[in-house]
Structure 1
Amino acid sequence: MDTARNILSNTEALYHLIVMMLTLSQGVHSLPVPTDIPMCTASETAQYSLTFSGKWTQAAFPKQYPVYRPPAQWSNLIGVTHSSDYHMWQRNEFASNGVREFTEKGEAWTLMKEVETSGERIQSVYGVLSAPAVVEGTGQMNTEFEVFARHSYLSFIVRIIPSPDWFVGVDGVDLCDGDHWKESVTLELFPYDAGTDSGFTFSSPNFETIPQDKITQITSSVPNHPANSFYYPRLKHLPPMAKVTLTKIKKTNQIISLPLEPTQSNQLPTGNEIEDTLIHTPLDCEVSVWSPWGLCKSKCGESGVQHRTRYVLLHSANNGSPCPLLEEERKCFPDNCL
């Protein structure tokens, strides 16, 4: 309960920051930016609703699934609408200081300052948007935003909690298609590593990556290490951790919808709000290496037996391979028998 209160407190602070940023940005008019990318020629602005749906379940991600201190959950969504020359984050590029602080600590102040500075320098950022945190691995958050021809792209980032520096998000999805706006876009979201912390597990302590790595997508085999919380060698691909749906809505006179005051009403959807079939990822049992063989138990001149053992590192789940035998014995003859 204390964790939920802390998340809501942080959400409120971030909410007021977003409101302030939106208020300040309403008087800034973006200028055209030269680009080689085909330009959107839609004549009118468009408004969209954004629905982020968490799909981080213990059935889909059974390995080291965080159940307390804190349990699996999602941070606030921080996003921007922008032109093609701007990137909040990019795969295979270094994370900014703002992205580092957000993915490691959930602090958005530096990230918002970077957005503001980019908008002033290259006039590529049009609007800022936010949605409140989800204090469960499953659940939804919603917001609305506006795009227009020169700024038809959407980028956002959501921190995975708990994690060293992992997140999901979108880098520059274009909502324009020639001279018209797309009616609906649905994207499955997979985990990324910001490259700033070297932890392998959800609950790893802070261990700075020096030198900093580039942003990489986490897969069932990358990082290729059994300790990795997403290491599922039997899978070709990880199941999606989340999904985002962008739906064009009827235009109103409202420029942009401010995020709702944060509440706990968005924790767990009811009915068929998340319509996807529940995924059950098989998790094989993992055991330690064998201990050395024990002493040979027998009388002098007679054969005896000796034993060795191993222990369970990770129990199987969802019809994964069961644990093998944890004890072995073999015949032996005592050494140095007098």
Structure 2
Amino acid sequence: MAPQFFFPGSLRQLLVVLLKLTLSCAAPAKTTDGTLCTARGPASYVLVFTGHWSPQTFPKQYPLFRPPAQWSKLIAVTHNAQFRLWQEGAPASQGAQSFAEEGVTAEVVKEAREARKWRAVGSMYRTPGIPTGTGHSSTELLLQPRNPQLSLMVKVIPSPDWFVGIDSLNLCEHNDWRQEVTLDLRPFDAGTDSGFTFSSPNFPTNPPENITQITSQNPNHPANSFFYPRLSELPPLATIRLTRQDRSPVRHNSLSNHIQPHDTTPKRFSETPLDCEVSLWSSWGLCLGSCSKGGMRHRTRYILLRPANSGIPCPELEEQAECRPRNCPEKH
């Protein structure tokens, strides 16, 4: 076929491809359920993170020093369905791992900036850490229809690789933005560090496991700091509240914006009872006294975990019994 007949057809195909690409870039973002966010314009929110980690709600192995119970900085990302900061049941990314283990945000920021190149990520936000287990941090968020989802993480300090967070929360409902959202947060294990307790040493999980939620009975091991077999589920470790504003933020700083919340009244939860835990009995000791005159022998056990919040008290730690002939030391 002569070039003059082939060129117009190729040009038409090229124009069709360019038109489809332009339309796909301009199209509204699809949410996780397949619907489109067709809201007119952006939406501004105030995000308030509240920690509820106290000795009353989580008395087992509650960290009091070196370091005491506290929260890392909060890192949040606005994005669409093409990006995941973290996901339950999936392996942690390098960024999620470094943040869950050490509270370092450099890798998370790097991953989000890379995703921003293909417009999968809108903005990133950080708030300061909270030096106690109970307290507040907050920031303003600006979400665009193209990136209507919100994901965030806050590390539990101290812990091996535990965190609380939100995965791909969609704040756009078809043609409008949600007015207010409140979510209770419970702990997750990033699956990259092996440890049952808050103060467990750094021992990498090899090979790494998927991100899983920590529950009152999972991991099902008495050493687990969140192991409360009497509870059907753990109390909320923290809460996130998102409130839409009528105005846009006056000044937008995506990495250091911080606002004090208006309502700082602590949320009340019922106390979690912690039952006493004791060791196994020691071996019986030698007889004290003459066997023929009713000599006695003793054994002991010790407290592994003291009770709290009206939990079952500790049993007797010493027991004695009358000697029998086979328990008496032989005479030489």
TM-score by length of 1: 0.84
Map of 1:16 onto structure 2: none
Match of 1:141, as an amino acid? S
8 Å contact 1:159–1:168 — kept in the other structure? yes
State percent identity of aligned pairs: 47
Map of 2:68 onto structure 1: 71
Q: Which of 204, 212, 218 is the matching residue for 1:208?
A: 204
Q: Which of 275, 283, 296 is the matching residue for 1:292?
A: 283
Unaligned runs of 5+ in 1: 1-29
Query: Which consecutive segments of 4 or more residues in structure 1 shift more than 4 A?
Result: 30-36, 257-262
8 Å contact 1:168–1:192 — kept in the other structure? yes
Check 1:253–1:313 CA distance in 2 against 1; reply closer, same or farther (3 A cut): closer
Match of 1:298, as an amino acid? G
Q: Which has the larger radius of gyration?
A: 2
8 Å contact 1:53–1:274 — kept in the other structure? no
8 Å contact 1:37–1:84 — kept in the other structure? no
Match of 1:88, as an amino acid? L
> Partners in 2 of 1:215 and 1:298 — Cα distance?
60
Secondary structure in structure 2 of the residue aligned to 1:209: coil
Q: Which of 58, 65, 78 is the matching residue for 2:55?
A: 58
Match of 2:81, as an amino acid? S
Q: 1:169 deviation in Å?
A: 0.4
Check 1:170–1:139 CA distance in 2 against 1; reply closer, same or farther (3 A cut): same
**1:1-338 paired onto structure 2 within 5 Å:** 37-120=34-117, 122-252=118-248, 254=250, 256-258=252-254, 260=256, 273-333=264-324, 334=328, 336-337=330-331
RMSD of aligned residue pairs (Cα, Å): 2.2
Q: 1:31 deviation in Å?
A: 6.3
Higher mean C-alpha deviation, range 111-120 or range 162-171: 111-120
State the aligned residue count.
303
Map of 1:10 onto structure 2: none
Secondary structure in structure 2 of the residue aligned to 1:187: strand
Match of 1:336, as an amino acid? E
Unaligned runs of 5+ in 2: 1-24
Higher mean C-alpha deviation, range 102-111 or range 181-190: 102-111
> Partners in 2 of 1:165 and 1:293 — Cα distance?
42
